[in-house]
Amino acid sequence: MMGLTLKQYRIKAGWSVSRMKKETGLSRDAVENAEAGRPIRAETAWRLAEALSGRLGEKISVLDIEGLNVQ
C-alpha cells in the first residue's frame, strides 16, 4: 500500500487530533507539528506509527507515513 500522510492515517483511524494525542501520550503541539511536516523526534514518530498500527490492525512503520520530518 502506498503511504498516507499522518492526517490521512489519523482520519482513516477515525481519530481527532485530541484522540490521537490521548492514544499516543503526545502533546497537541507534537501531533500538529508532525501533521504539518515540522521537525519531530524519532520517538514521536515511532509513537504515532505504533498507535496507528494498533488501531488499524496493520503494521505501519514510520517510513510508511508520508511527509514526516524526523530529526
Residue 1 is assigned to a structural domain of this protein:
no
Residue 20 is assigned to a structural domain of this protein:
yes
Average confidence (pLDDT) over 5-29: 97
User: So what's the pLDDT on residue 3?
Assistant: 82
CA distances from 35 to 6, 10, 28 (A): 6, 10, 11
Give the separation between CA 24 and CA 44, rounded to whole angstroms: 9
User: So what's the pLDDT on residue 32?
Assistant: 97
Q: How many domains does the chain have?
A: 1
Closest CA to 52 of 2, 1, 10: 10
Residue 55 is assigned to a structural domain of this protein:
yes
Residue 16 is assigned to a structural domain of this protein:
yes
Which CATH number does the domain housing residue 26 bear? 1.10.260.40
Q: Which domain holds residue 28?
A: 6-70
- pLDDT tens digit string along 34-64? 999 999 999 999 999 999 999 999 999 999 9
